[in-house]
Amino acid sequence: MGDDGWNRSAKAWITDMGETGDYGRQWVLDAPMVERLRGLGGGRALDVGCGEGRFCRILRREGFEPVGVDPTLELLAAARARDPEGVYVEGRAEALDFADESFDLVVSCLSLIDIAPADLAIAEMVRVLKPGGTLLIANLTSFSTARVQVGWRGRLLGGRIGVVIDRYLETRAEWQRWRGIEILNWHRPLKDYMQWFLGQGLVLTHFDEPEPTGGPPERAARYRRAPWYFIMEWRKS
């Protein structure tokens, strides 16, 4: 596999996430994701791209039996250290080493943007999901991943006008760098994700572009100006 930056960024990522996660996870995604979990009634769950295990720990608190899978060994080591009773397995999303129809719930929380063959990964997630099971997805919106590197465009005398996006329909990978982290993220138009999910025969049961629920007001204001994430819940027939 090509270099995606995760091995050399793992230590900085673990430090940056801490126990509570970054602003987006803690104050934008957590509440609506937990709300979806509470409507499902527990069961065996697979967290694809589990990283340092934060969402697996949430799954356990919400009554699920989670299994985390990730290709980055240092992240898995951190997950096991924080959750010694948890199950964390080395593996790649596009080649899951689990039997067909093994899980009641499969979660991808901000991992599809890291996966080059995302279409193959989605097919694998569906393969290991039981009939009637749920695929719960959280991802950066395609508006967010299409933003140009300058980000916010401002007026000459100060103040922000908005986010600049470009090349929306062009699938591409770009390096993202912050606080010692350097990883390769994929931009894809929303139609690609929708066609891949629909092509697996899934039924869309929930869609949301969540707003912040708290945190520093200036951060919340920024996340309200344009949708940063989407949440999808799909059901396997």
* 208 domain residue, yes or no: yes
Residue 207 included in any domain: yes
Residue 152 counted as domain residue: no
* Overall size of the chain counted in residues: 237
For 206-222, write each residue's pLDDT tens digit. 999 999 999 999 999 98
Q: Which residues contact 81 (CB under 8 A, 6 or more apart)?
A: none
Look at the chain and report how many structural domains it folds into: 1
Predicted model pTM: 0.94
Task: Give a yes or no: residue 164 inside a domain.
Answer: no
Asked if residue 179 belongs to a domain, the reply is no
Contact 47, 12 (CB under 8 A): no
Cβ atoms of residues 153 and 160 within 8 Å: yes
Domain that holds residue 81: 6-142+189-235
Residue 233: the pLDDT is: 98
The one-letter amino acid code at 89 reads V
Q: What are phi and psi of 35, to 5 degrees?
A: -60, -40
CATH number at residue 61: 3.40.50.150
- For residue range 91-137, list pLDDT tens digits in order: 999 999 999 999 999 999 999 999 999 999 999 999 999 999 999 99
pLDDT digits (tens, 9 = 90+) for 144-193: 999 876 555 566 556 666 778 899 999 999 999 999 999 999 999 999 99
Contact between residue 116 and residue 186 where contact means Cβ atoms under 8 Å apart: yes
Q: Is 158 inside any structural domain? A: no
